[in-house]
Amino acid sequence: MPMDAAWNITVQWRGGAVLCKLLCFLKLLCMHASAHVVIVISLDRQHAILRPLHALSAHQRNRRMLAAAWVFSVVLATPQLFIFRLSKVKDVDFTQCATHGSFSQRWQETLYNMFHFITLYVFPLVVMVWCYSCILLHIQRQASVQKAGEWSLRRSGTDIIPKARMKTVKMSVVIVLSFVICWTPYYLLGVWYWFQPAVLDYTPEYIHHSLFVFGNLNSCLDPLIYGFYSPSFRAGLRQCCRGTHKGGRTRNLNQSPMHTKEVQQEEQEDEPGGMSGGGRTV
């Protein structure tokens, strides 16, 4: 981001050929990693809710999926190292980091951009919609079984739709919505430009940069969403807002022991399974 910001200020590229290739590679790598990690989270949530008895193997499975996500991200971003290069304008002291000369026909560049549009936006969105559709269908079926009087599933004391699972579903849906809201404007403008390049003539340059920065905010929102759905984080935030801080997990002076016990119970009940908890049941 600092190099990209400096590039926007200077307009022309002043970082040399190596940094030109490296910056374009890292930008696409971060975009792919963000999209693929969201896919991993969606698959993990689906597996945690549809197959809760496989919780013991969740940790190793998640490690493999995360490793695969990063490997695919590196592979898909590697072409940036070869197609971006320094382009100098004749008779003018102006140098730019661009793909000029890397594609013999414009349709080749459009095809390349559409490929990354599919892998960065369309494919993750399809996977997320499929995962959460399966989750909602599973919950609906379980609710139908409960209403039909299938009491045998409840004799063991296990709730059909545990509160932790519902909390996980809500959190994951919010993550998907943040992905869609943050990246849709940027890709819509990109598709418009790929098929109608004249759009640059009447679209201010700051709009392109603003939409790209807004899309990258998705990576910053995910930790905040995780924190918001964490009871301990909310309890600590309330204490911070009240101006009471004694270090560690201290209790507010005006907070009753009963309230503290309720918060601790909420942590145990609301802790979502999946990436951090191995998809455990409650």
Give the pair of three-digit tokens for residue 192: 């418009």
Q: Is residue 274 part of a domain?
A: no
- Decide which of 221 and 268 is more confident: 221
Q: Is residue 281 part of a domain?
A: no
Q: Is residue 145 part of a domain?
A: yes
Q: Is residue 243 part of a domain?
A: no
pLDDT, averaged across the chain: 75
First and final CA of the chain: distance in angstroms? Answer: 42
Q: Is residue 256 part of a domain?
A: no
Residues 6+ apart with CB under 8 A from 14: 95
pLDDT digits (tens, 9 = 90+) for 53-94: 776 777 888 899 999 999 999 999 999 999 988 888 777 777
- Decide which of 5 and 248 is more confident: 5
Q: Is residue 259 part of a domain?
A: no
Cα dihedral 119, 125, 131, 134 sign: negative
Selection from 195, 24, 171 nearest residue 106 by Cα: 195
pLDDT digits (tens, 9 = 90+) for 226-269: 777 777 777 777 778 776 545 444 444 344 444 444 445 554 44
Distance of alpha carbon 176 from alpha carbon 197, whole angstroms: 30
Q: Which residues does residue 88 pair with via DSSP β-bridges, in sequence order?
A: 95
pLDDT at 74: 96
Distance of alpha carbon 98 from alpha carbon 83, whole angstroms: 8
Instruction: Look up the CATH number of the domain holding residue 128.
Output: 1.20.1070.10
Which domain range does residue 132 map to?
2-229
Q: Is residue 193 part of a domain?
A: yes
Domains held by the chain: number:
1
pLDDT at 166: 72
Helix pair 16-50, 205-228: axis angle to 10 deg = 40
Q: Is residue 82 part of a domain?
A: yes
